[in-house]
Amino acid sequence: MAALALLPAAGEAIYFRDKISWRSAIAPSEMVTVEQARGWGDTAIWVDARPDDEFATDHVPSAISLNEDRWNELLPQFLAVWAPGKKIIVYCSSLSCNASREVARRLRKKRSSPTCSSSKAAGKR
């Protein structure tokens, strides 16, 4: 009986094997380690792409909140500190989190060339 219960799960695993959500959709060339990003010091802007409640609980010191839910409201505070040549580190809670990728994509449209660091560790300095 237990073996029958596993059949649907095994079928889904085979069907979705190339669509696993924990694989990062961020190109390796855009990924940086937390150590690399910290090494940039004041030449970098940290952007927290997580929801407001997660940002309020914990975030990288001096990080700017910029998420999809409040994009139009939060974008001006990012633009106030952004300058050409500044590195932008967009992070969220884990590698499977797509929030940083989406915020980075939208910033790219604004021509600010963000670098992504989708690491929960980015929240700890």
At residue 6, the pLDDT reads 52
User: If DSSP codes are grouped into helix, strand and coil, which group holds residue 116?
Assistant: strand
Within 13 Å and on the Cβ side, how many CA atoms surround 53?
0
Phi, psi of 97 (to 5 degrees): -75, 125
Pairwise CA distance, residues 90 & 122, whole Å: 9
C-alpha 105, offset from chain centre: 10
At residue 20, the pLDDT reads 46
Question: Is residue 90 a contact partner of residue 47, using CB atoms and an 8 Å limit?
Answer: yes
Q: How far apart are the first and last CA of the chain?
A: 50
Contacts of 100 (CB under 8 A, 6+ apart): 26, 49, 90, 91, 92, 116, 117, 118
pLDDT by residue for the chain (125 residues), tens only, comes to 444 455 555 455 555 445 444 455 566 777 788 889 889 998 999 999 999 999 999 999 999 999 999 999 999 999 999 988 889 999 988 766 788 888 988 988 876 455 555 554 444 43
User: If DSSP codes are grouped into helix, strand and coil, which group holds residue 2?
Assistant: helix
Question: Is residue 89 a contact partner of residue 122, using CB atoms and an 8 Å limit?
Answer: yes
In terms of pTM, does the model score above 0.95? no
At residue 51, the pLDDT reads 94
